[in-house]
């Protein structure tokens, strides 16, 4: 059997008052990626994963799991308004409302070849994504996984990127690692100074 450990974590926050253009400029200047036409959901995740991979070594068999309570609100609204006004829906806007559109760009930019799954979940999003990662690792589909969790409120958009990896449950070092229960509410704990790796409690 194996256990899942959290090796690293990055979080990116943008105030909701920032315009799309301002967010694109920030992301482009930091990452160097071509970000024209990308929505804020994708932009913030590109930045979080960019920082995660820049600061941590990843293995070739890398997977991507992500989740959120929402998609791109702005694009959903534009599609709905276009339908209401009997206007043609722009193909890009339609495609970008699909939940895993951000996953597509993430896997493309970072050459992630393993499993690629988005889940829409209002509760225990991180726990559910972690359980999917654990299952795929046990089956040998990947060695590591990046988990991306989006959160938003009236003041800011926030994206967490986490690097997880399996270890043997006989590893002696497990006794010295602290447990971390994977729920979105507890992600704020990781924004403080913590020591990695952390043992994920998925039971």
For 165-202, what is each residue's pLDDT tens digit? 988 777 777 666 677 765 556 677 777 767 788 888 77
For 120-142, what is each residue's pLDDT tens digit? 776 778 888 999 999 999 999 99
Residue 150 lies in a domain: yes
pLDDT score of 89: 73
Q: Are 75 and 97 in contact (CB under 8 A)?
A: yes
For 46-76, what is each residue's pLDDT tens digit? 999 999 999 999 999 999 999 886 555 566 6
Residue 195 lies in a domain: yes
pLDDT score of 183: 56
Residue 82 lies in a domain: no
Alpha carbons 152 and 181: distance in angstroms, whole number: 21
Residue 117 lies in a domain: yes
Q: Domain residues for 155?
A: 2-71+100-201
pLDDT score of 49: 97
Identify the CATH number of the domain in which residue 131 sits.
3.40.47.10
How many domains does the chain contain in total? 1
Residue 7 lies in a domain: yes
Residue 183 lies in a domain: yes
Alpha carbons 136 and 138: distance in angstroms, whole number: 5
pLDDT over 90 at 40, yes or no: no
pLDDT over 80 at 8, yes or no: yes
Residue 83 lies in a domain: no
Residue 77 lies in a domain: no
């Amino acid at each position: 059997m194996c256990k899942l450990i959290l090796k690293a974590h990055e979080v990116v926050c943008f105030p909701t008052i920032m315009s799309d253009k301002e967010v694109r400029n920030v992301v482009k200047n930091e990452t160097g990626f071509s970000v024209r036409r990308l929505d804020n959901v994708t932009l913030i995740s590109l930045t979080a994963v960019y920082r995660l991979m820049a600061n941590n070594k990843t293995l070739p068999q890398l997977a991507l799991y992500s989740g959120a309570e929402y998609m791109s609100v702005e694009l959903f609204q534009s599609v709905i308004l276009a339908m209401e006004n009997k206007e043609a829906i722009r193909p890009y806007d339609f495609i970008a409302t699909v939940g895993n559109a951000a996953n597509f760009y993430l896997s493309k930019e970072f050459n992630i070849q393993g499993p690629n799954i988005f889940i829409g979940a209002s509760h225990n999003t991180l726990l559910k994504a972690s359980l999917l990662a654990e299952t795929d690792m046990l089956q040998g589909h990947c060695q590591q996984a990046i988990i991306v969790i989006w959160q938003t409120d009236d003041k800011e958009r926030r994206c967490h990127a986490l690097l997880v990896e399996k270890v043997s449950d006989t590893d002696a070092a497990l006794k010295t690692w602290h447990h971390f229960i994977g729920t979105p509410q507890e992600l704020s704990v990781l924004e403080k100074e913590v020591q990695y790796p952390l043992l994920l409690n998925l039971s």
